[in-house]
């Protein structure tokens, strides 16, 4: 039996176990969900691994050409290479004729040896390496079990991947510290060979019960880049999130279109052209990306691994029944149905869709607003005219980097003659698009 829509499962084959103690990690505490006497009990058993691979492939809709297995944690590299060798063999056994099976492996990089890097390369694994910028920014919150910074160990892992010519991208958590240094972070990621970048904003409630909203008074936090009323000190403020992403965008536009790929920018470009969002945060509904723990337990989302969002265990119930359960369907629809009036009236709704429900902490009219709302608005205001021009270039069969020939000043914009041109050419407005007026 197959499901009626594509879906994705993020696998946690070692559960929440990790060799690092990153301060903002939301998953380390999940160890409390499972009554385990030994750490070895967190390893996904052979029978669970086979059931997961078989059911995940077989439950995909008819006609599915490609299936991606995403291995995460915790730290999945705590498991030996033999575990993933077994997984690859099972994938070959259960893949449909003509189906391509791919593997994505999210790691902190510290356990990647030259030998493992070569194995990943030989088996076509795409590795995602978590790195928050150069050493002083990365080590701010990413520590090992002894409280020491993990940067040097991560860089050894990256060097092994580069040497093995293993495809990798980078995942950078944007927090209160590195958010103020977009250029430094972006330049560093390029310097280590990253050409595919993902940026994830950290938002953490502080001393609040699940579901409790930040009050109207707390929302004055938006007035400062560094204010964190109602959230943790690690949380990126809305303004800092906007500052970081627009800073990265400006550098990308000037130097790297077509050479460096930033997941947010690829998606925003697509949304402006009428394509669906490429990841759930900005989709109208969610619920198509679930998490499976080492035990075979399936949860609504890896950010919702709580008893309240437990769907069942694939050793007891067919995976397709869990995916299509009323509980999971309602979970996904709530992203759209619980939007406050402010979101429904917003001109940027088609880009944002309210963001991730876990970040909806602010009191709104008829629902909860996303903590990062004002930051997203500043990103959209800054980038939309350029993405629209890129779309026009694309339709004219021109490269996206030629967008300035199609750029239009947004209606109602007030740009001084000596201001920098908003097309980011680096010229004064009067010597660029202002001369066309």
Indicate the helix (H) or strand (E) that contains 290: strand 289-293
**Phi-psi map region of 165: left, alpha, beta (phi>0 left; psi -120 to 50 alpha):** left
Residue 71, token pair as written in the block: 């291995």
* 296, 46 contact by CB (below 8 A): no
Indicate the helix (H) or strand (E) that contains 258: none
Parallel, antiparallel or unpaired: strands 297-299 and 310-313:
antiparallel
* 104, 138 contact by CB (below 8 A): no
Q: What is the distance of C-alpha 259 from the center of its chain? A: 20
> Of residues 132, 250, 297, 302, which has the active-site annotation?
302
* Rounded distance between C-alpha atoms, residue 432 and residue 95, angstroms: 55
Task: Give the side-chain half-sphere CA count within 13 A for 370.
Answer: 28
* 356, 92 contact by CB (below 8 A): no
**Phi-psi map region of 98: left, alpha, beta (phi>0 left; psi -120 to 50 alpha):** left
* 56, 296 contact by CB (below 8 A): no
Q: What is the distance of C-alpha 414 from the center of its chain? A: 35
* Rounded distance between C-alpha atoms, residue 420 and residue 111, angstroms: 46
* Rounded distance between C-alpha atoms, residue 60 and residue 165, angstroms: 31
Burial of 146 from C-beta contacts in 10 A (0-12 / 13-18 / 19+): exposed
Residue 435, token pair as written in the block: 């001369």
Indicate the helix (H) or strand (E) that contains 321: helix 319-323
* Rounded distance between C-alpha atoms, residue 403 and residue 394, angstroms: 8
Active site residue 177: no
Burial of 404 from C-beta contacts in 10 A (0-12 / 13-18 / 19+): middle
* 235, 175 contact by CB (below 8 A): yes
* 423, 433 contact by CB (below 8 A): yes
Catalytic residue positions, numbered: 302
């Amino acid at each position: 039996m197959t499901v009626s829509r594509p879906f994705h499962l993020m696998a946690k084959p070692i559960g929440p176990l990790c060799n690092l103690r990153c301060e903002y990690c939301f998953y380390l505490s999940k160890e409390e969900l499972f009554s385990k006497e030994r750490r070895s009990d967190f390893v996904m058993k052979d029978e669970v691994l086979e059931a997961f691979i078989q059911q995940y492939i077989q439950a995909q809709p008819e006609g599915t050409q490609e299936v991606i297995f995403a291995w995460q944690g915790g730290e999945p590299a705590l498991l030996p290479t033999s575990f993933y060798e077994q997984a690859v063999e099972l994938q070959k056994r259960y893949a449909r004729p003509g189906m391509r099976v791919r593997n994505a492996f999210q790691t902190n990089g510290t356990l990647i040896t030259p030998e493992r890097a070569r194995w990943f390369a030989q088996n076509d694994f795409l590795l995602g390496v978590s790195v928050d910028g150069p050493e002083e920014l990365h080590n701010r919150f990413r520590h090992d079990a002894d409280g020491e910074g993990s940067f040097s160990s991560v860089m050894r892992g990256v060097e092994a991947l580069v040497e093995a010519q293993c495809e990798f991208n980078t995942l950078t958590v944007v927090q209160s510290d590195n958010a103020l240094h977009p250029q430094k972070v972006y330049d560093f990621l390029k310097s280590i060979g990253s050409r595919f970048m993902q940026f994830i904003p950290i938002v953490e409630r502080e001393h609040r019960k699940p579901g409790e909203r930040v009050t109207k008074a707390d929302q004055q936090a938006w007035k400062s880049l560094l204010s964190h009323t109602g959230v943790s000190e690690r949380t990126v403020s809305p303004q800092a999130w906007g500052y970081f992403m627009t800073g990265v965008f400006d550098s990308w536009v000037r130097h790297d279109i077509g050479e460096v790929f930033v997941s947010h920018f690829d998606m925003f470009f697509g949304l402006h052209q009428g394509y669906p969002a490429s990841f759930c945060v900005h989709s109208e509904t969610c619920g198509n990306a679930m998490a499976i723990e080492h035990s075979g337990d399936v949860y609504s989302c890896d950010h919702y691994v709580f008893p309240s969002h437990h769907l069942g265990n694939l050793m007891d119930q067919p995976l397709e029944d869990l995916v299509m359960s009323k509980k999971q369907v309602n979970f996904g629809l709530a992203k759209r149905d619980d939007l406050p009036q402010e979101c429904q009236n917003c001109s940027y709704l088609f880009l944002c869709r309210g963001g991730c429900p876990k970040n909806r902490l602010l009191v709104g009219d008829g629902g909860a607003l996303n903590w990062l709302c004002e930051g997203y608005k500043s990103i959209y205001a800054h980038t939309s005219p350029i993405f629209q021009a890129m779309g026009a270039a694309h339709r004219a069969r021109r490269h996206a980097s030629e967008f300035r020939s199609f750029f239009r000043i947004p209606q109602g914009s007030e740009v001084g003659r000596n201001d920098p041109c908003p097309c980011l050419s680096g010229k004064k407005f009067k010597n660029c698009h202002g001369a066309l007026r």
